[in-house]
Each structure stands twice: as structure tokens, then as C-alpha cells.
Structure 1
Amino acid sequence: MSQTPPPGSTPLIEAPRRRRWPLVLAALVALAVVLGLVVSLTGGDDEASPAPTVRIGVVGASDPYWATYEKAAEEEGIDVEIINFDDYNQPNPAVSEGELDMNQFQHIVFLADYNVARGDDLQPIGATAIYPLGLHSKQYDAVEDIPAGATVAVPNDASNQARALVLLQSAGLIELKSGGTIFSDLADIDTGASRVEVKALDAALTATSLDDLAGAVVNNDFVERAGLDFDDALAQDDPSDPNALPYVNVFAVRADDLDNPTYRRLVEIYQETQAVQEGVVEVSGGTAVMLDTPVEDLQASLERVESDTRAQQD
């Protein structure tokens, strides 16, 4: 209850209230600065930018295990896009030029041939599997049934051609002057000592040309697509041979990306996911031998093959 001042007295003047809004404003500004610093350091939990998609080039993207692999990667927060190629000559330049982040379709010998020919430096970042190479025929049930003078096809790319020729020699169909190396080609065939003639075709065509050939060495990727059965191969090489390391299939990346933790984790997901591993074996008709060869061994093998390839060219 207020009191009225006595008559004649001087009214008391109320002291002015302190203006607090500048202090409040300063506090709010300080708080905003602190919050901004925290967000800039942590990236912010609610507004985090999504991780970029990792593009991986393969031959045979329709194989079911690739969808399984994409899902396994997604469960770990990695968005993967599998890009299909039908031509072996395209995935490596695509990685080199930045159109792809990784590829997985080739063995070490193929990668070495590419690097030397193009002056490139793509590197293996992890192993996947090794696949035996098989000799198939629609006309004959055994190697011994193939008549003298018949024509057998091999892939025309250097690395697979050499491997196919060594297989034909092991099967007793040809003789190689060098005894057989990773550099053997058609010129290495001793025609006088060989039982069959050899024709080089694109790897995608060896199987589809079987109607006109006595036999053909068919890359694993094209066996089932051509309606062939892995078990019907007349002969195949031995993937467990220690000398087979150059034919281990790998994930390949640019040299600058060898230590990329996301790419390395993607290799581990491939190697550790049982459904992926089983899918690869199933698609290969039970022929694939799954591997987790140390990256250092893969890189050492690549270096040796590249060195030998350059020496061969001198």
C-alpha cells in the first residue's frame, strides 16, 4: 500500500533503473560465438553433410553378391555405387581419371600391363579371389578328343593370353618356346611341336565363338553368361600354386588413395561379409578361392611384374 507524502514536502525522486539489455545482448553474442565454434569443430550432429558415394567399377555388376555388398557397406554408413563395364580396358582409365574411386575386376598381371603401357600408377588395395582359367568345348568331352589341326581360342589381352597359353601347354595341346611365362604370346608357340592352332579373340568373345571352334579358354566372368558349366571344363590351371600370386584379383585405386580409410574398410567388408564371400564362390561355380592376401604382398608382386614387363620390352 503506497503512502502520500506530507504537504509541503519534496517528493522523493525514484532512482532510474539500470538498463540491462546491452549486457544481455553481449551475453547472447558470446554464446553464439561459442556455439558456432563448437559446430565448426564437430561438424554439427544434426546438419552433418552426407558422406560422398564411393563409385566402384566392376565387370559383372548383375552378380547378386554385389547388391549384398552394397547393403553391407550401407549398414556401416558407406554409400557404394557399383558401376558395370563390359570391356576390361575401361575400368582402369576410369579410376585414373577420377570417374571411379576404385575398381575390382582384374588380377595383378593385368594391372601391371596397364600401368606400364599407360605410364600409370594404380595400386592394389586388397585381394578378393583367384579364379582358375578353364578350357571349354561344345564339341569334345576331353582334351584327348580334340583333333590335330583344330583351332582353339585364347583371350587377346596380354596377361590372360599368356596364362591361357600356359594352360594349353599343360594340357598337351601346344608347346611354348620359352617354356611358358607371364609374357608368352602367340609368337611363343612352337607350331611344329603343337597339336592345335591358336587364335586370339577378345575375352568376351571366346565363349560365344565356341560353335565355330574346337575349344576356347574362357575367363571366369564369361562362363555362365555363355551358358557353360564350370564343371565341364576340359582342363584348368591350379589357383593354389604359389606362382599364381600375380593372378590374384584385387581392388585397385589411385596411388594417392592407398591410405584412404573408407576404401580400406570397403575391402575389409568384402573380405569379412560371409554372404558376399559365399556369393562370389556361388557365381564362380564353386571355383573361386577367396583370399585376404596382405596388401604389402600384392604391391610387391605388382612391382616385380611391372619390372619384368619393362625389361621384356627393352
Structure 2
Amino acid sequence: MKKHAVLASLLLILIVGVLSACGSNKAANNTSASANSDNKAAANASPSTANTTAEQSAAPEKPAEPIKVKIGVSGTDGETWPLLKKKAKEQLNVEIELVEFSDYTLPNLALANKEVDVNSFQHLAFLSQFNIEHNLNIVPIGSTVVSPLGLYSKKYKDVSEIPDGSQIAIPNDPANQGRGLLVLQAAGLLKLKDNVGLYGTPDDIVDNPHKLKIVPVVAQQTPRVLPDVAASIINGGIAGQAGLKLSDAIFHDDPLSETTRPYLNVFATRVEDKDNETYRAIAKLYQDPEIIESVKKDSNGGSVVIDIPAETLQGELDKLEGEIKAAKK
């Protein structure tokens, strides 16, 4: 009898053990299924959710100590740059020092020589020409504005009023000179040779029925010579600084046209710094709604803020540089 009791106890222990093992296996299977379910859900997450998460994790953290960044510019008048400095300090803990240059050739050289960290004064057409001529590799990291190129006059209210033999001032740097001549052609004042491209010179004029005298001057001087010439080609940013409105121009190109894409202004830096998170964050900050409003105010409505990815900007720059190299062969 005692022997039967022992056997019964052993049998009971064996049954309990088997049931426990089954329960553990079931729990393990449930855990595995749950993990698989979670993985499946993650895999099926919408791209926008995934991108948002990635963007949030990729955003640079606000540093404990201020980061100092020198930005080369061609003018600091107006509200935009002080506002950008303020926002960079508040949002990024970045202290921006603006280094102002009076000549378009200097900010890129200062950048190449590491006298500044970033510059913001030029469009892609200017940058492409400068890179080729000086054997540099300065690259865009963010877009700012497109500014129309206008023909302004203190003496005449319509292109048709400009007398024969008049002097017309245009910027003397290759990109803006070429664009200025295209504006004069569009206004019907002269004709350039076919396929002149973006970098035409007065030597490319094939028909000058009004015998106009083209006077190249430093871009920043184009508003100042207005009293001395019949009309002057002035870009939007400089015109705004001089108190001129786009509506004051007697003729101008279309800032939103595809043909003006090479004239999109950019933040630029050295190629080795193209992925610098701080520099890119500053460039992105330019798209802030308050900055956009200040640009509109500073330029008297003559400049349009446009947000184009750095990769697209680089593609446009590569194309322009390729065209310049091909033309030199």
C-alpha cells in the first residue's frame, strides 16, 4: 500500500512537470509572436512616420557652450541678418559674426582661406564661374533668395524713352554681367549672338541699334551711378538696400522662371564642411517665416525666399560648371 502511494506521488510530480513545461513553451511562443508582431508593425510603418523619427534623431542637439560661426556677406543693412543672428542664438546656441565685404570677389577667397566659415552673398551662376576661375571647390548648403535683375533709371520711365547713344551701367562680374546683357536683350535694347549662354560680355553684342554704351561697374556701385547714366542694371538685393523697389524698375526678368534658377542665392562653405550640422542648421533657419517676412521688407518685395535641397543645388552647380568647362575647350 505504501509502495502504491509512493508511485502515485511520483506520477503526480511528473504530470505537473509536463504541464509546466507546456506552459513555458506557450509563453515563449507568445513572446516570440509578440516580437514578430512588433517587428512587422515597424516594417509597415508609414514612410512619413519613419522619416519624422529619423529627422528628429538627426537634428543637432543644442550645445551647452555657444558655437561661434563667421558668415561672409555683402551687406548687413535691414532686419534680416540681425534677426537671423538672434534666432541662431536662441534656437541653436550659435553666435554668428557677420563679416561684411564690399567686393564680390572677396567673400569666396576669405572662405577658401578659412577667414570665414560660411558665406551668403552669391547665386549659383556666380559661384560656378568663381570655382572654375580660381580652382576652388566651394559648395552650396542651403538656398536663400532669388532676386530679379532690373533696369532702373532716374531719368526715364520707360525703356522706349532711352535716347540713342546713352550709357547703360551693368555689373562687371561675369555672372551678373551676362545676366544683365540678357535683360537688356529681353528689353529690346540690343541683340546678343546665338547661344551666348550665361556669361556673355559686351563683345557678344551683335546688334546695337541704339548705339548704347555699356559701362561695366562693380555690382555694389550700380545704384550709385544712376545720376550719371541713362539706366543701370541692379540686382534685387542691392536695389533693396539702395531703397529701390522692384516696381521702380523700367524692366526686369522673372524671378520665378526656370531660366532664373542659376541665379538662386545660396549659403556656401568649403567642400570638407558641407555636412557640418551647425552650418546646415543656420541655412535651414533662413526659411523661418519671420525671416521670410524680413527679407520681403528689406528688399521692398524684390527678393523671393525659396527652399531648395542642398543636393539639388549641388546638381545645378555641377551642371553650370560642366558648361563652363565645355565652353573653354
TM over 0.5: yes
1:34-183 pair list within 5 angstroms: 50-76=65-91, 77-178=93-194, 180-183=196-199
3-state SS, counterpart of residue 221 of structure 2: coil
Residue in 2 that maps onto 1:14? none
Any gaps of 5 or more consecutive residues in structure 1?
A: 1-47
State the 4+ residue runs in structure 1 displaced beyond 6 angstroms. Answer: none
Q: Counterpart of 2:186 in structure 1: which amino acid?
A: S
Residue in 2 that maps onto 1:15? none
TM-score normalised according to structure 1 size: 0.81
3-state SS, counterpart of residue 165 of structure 2: coil
Q: Distance in 2 between matches of 1:127 and 1:226?
A: 23
TM-score normalised according to structure 2 size: 0.77
More moved, 239-248 vs 113-122: 239-248
Residue in 2 that maps onto 1:29? none
Say whether the 8 Å CA contact 1:175–1:194 is kept in structure 2: no
Q: Could you tell me which of 182, 191, 199 is aligned with 2:215?
A: 199
Q: Distance in 1 between matches of 2:242 and 2:285?
A: 30
Q: Distance in 2 between matches of 1:311 and 1:108?
A: 17
Residue in 2 that maps onto 1:278? 293
Q: Number of matched residues?
A: 266
Alpha-carbon shift at residue 193 of structure 1 (Å): 4.2
3-state SS, counterpart of residue 286 of structure 1: coil
3-state SS, counterpart of residue 128 of structure 1: strand
Q: Distance in 1 between matches of 2:165 and 2:323?
A: 33
Any gaps of 5 or more consecutive residues in structure 2?
A: 1-62
Q: Counterpart of 1:275 in structure 2: which amino acid?
A: E
Q: 1:94 and 1:129, CA in 2 relative to 1: closer, same or farther beyond 3 A?
A: same
Q: Counterpart of 2:140 in structure 1: which amino acid?
A: P
3-state SS, counterpart of residue 141 of structure 1: coil
Q: Counterpart of 1:248 in structure 2: which amino acid?
A: L
Q: Distance in 1 between matches of 2:325 and 2:196?
A: 18
Q: 1:285 and 1:64, CA in 2 relative to 1: closer, same or farther beyond 3 A?
A: same
Say whether the 8 Å CA contact 2:241–2:299 is kept in structure 1: no
Residue in 2 that maps onto 1:303? 318
Say whether the 8 Å CA contact 2:237–2:302 is kept in structure 1: no
Q: Distance in 1 between matches of 2:180 and 2:109?
A: 25
1:201-240 pair list within 5 angstroms: 201-240=217-256
Residue in 1 that maps onto 2:327? 312
1:130-174 deviation digits (Å, cap 9, x = unpaired): 000010011101001111221111111000000000000000011
3-state SS, counterpart of residue 255 of structure 2: coil
Taking only aligned residues, the RMSD between alpha carbons, in angstroms, comes to 1.6
Compare the two structures and name the one with the higher helix fraction: 2
Q: 1:237 and 1:180, CA in 2 relative to 1: closer, same or farther beyond 3 A?
A: farther
Alpha-carbon shift at residue 211 of structure 1 (Å): 1.4
More moved, 187-196 vs 209-218: 187-196
Q: Counterpart of 1:287 in structure 2: which amino acid?
A: G
Alpha-carbon shift at residue 243 of structure 1 (Å): 2.2
Aligned identity (percent) is 37
Q: Distance in 2 between matches of 1:205 and 1:268?
A: 31
